[in-house]
Amino acid sequence: MSKDDKYLRTAFDLLDRNRDGRVTANELQFMLKNLGINVRDEIIHDLIREASHSGNGLINEAEFLQWVGRIQALRDEQQQHDDNPSNSKPLDEADDVTEDLIAAFRVFDRDGNGFITRDELQTAMEMIGEPLNEQQLEQLLAIADLDQDGRINYEEFTRLLL
């Protein structure tokens, strides 16, 4: 299992609130809202429908991994496109995503110092109804703390979510 697969499985486990091995539209919406990211219900349902091979409105772990893989491929294509200076123009949609990410970061960064500490991460996850045990907390920090300074900065936070 690759490191990315391990991280994605941890993300899936965080979304799967009732631990039934499937993610529903409600579970996805719950997590996004608690992160301060508002997405219309219709979009959430469309995303779930797109990811679910059975069309039953549920995503199992394998479907989640495939779906995120497609999203990452699209993101990589977009980044290559954006790296071309002739393609640079401001996108309102990108600005909205940036604002949502900043709002979500502030939910976690309780003291406003620009970093999410281990304690802040644990408190924020409890606030959004996703308490983590020590092992899950360690895994999430290992995933997010790229510079290994024991805290998560904004850039690390956005890389985790995008």
3-state secondary structure 84-101: CHHHCCCCHHHHHHHHHH
Q: What is the CATH number of domain 94-161?
A: 1.10.238.10
What are 32-54's pLDDT values in tens digits?
Answer: 777 777 778 888 888 888 888 88
Query: Is residue 91 over pLDDT 70?
Result: no
| The predicted structure's pLDDT at residue 151 | 92
| The predicted structure's pLDDT at residue 125 | 81
Instruction: Give the C-alpha separation, 138 to 93, whole Å.
Output: 33
Q: What band does 89 get if pLDDT is binned at 50, 70 and 90?
A: very low
Tell me if the domain spanning 3-74 has CATH number 1.10.238.10. yes
Q: Domain boundaries in the chain?
A: 3-74, 94-161
Q: Residue type at 57?
A: G
In percent, the amount of the chain with pLDDT more than 90 equals: 10
DSSP state string for 100-143 = HHHHHHHHH-TT-SSEEEHHHHHHHHHHTT----HHHHHHHHHH
Instruction: Give the C-alpha separation, 104 to 157, whole Å.
Output: 9
Is 3-74's fold the same as 94-161's?
A: yes
What's the predicted TM-score (pTM) here? 0.50
In percent, the amount of the chain with pLDDT more than 70 equals: 81
Report yes or no: 59 and 29 within 8 Å, Cβ to Cβ: no
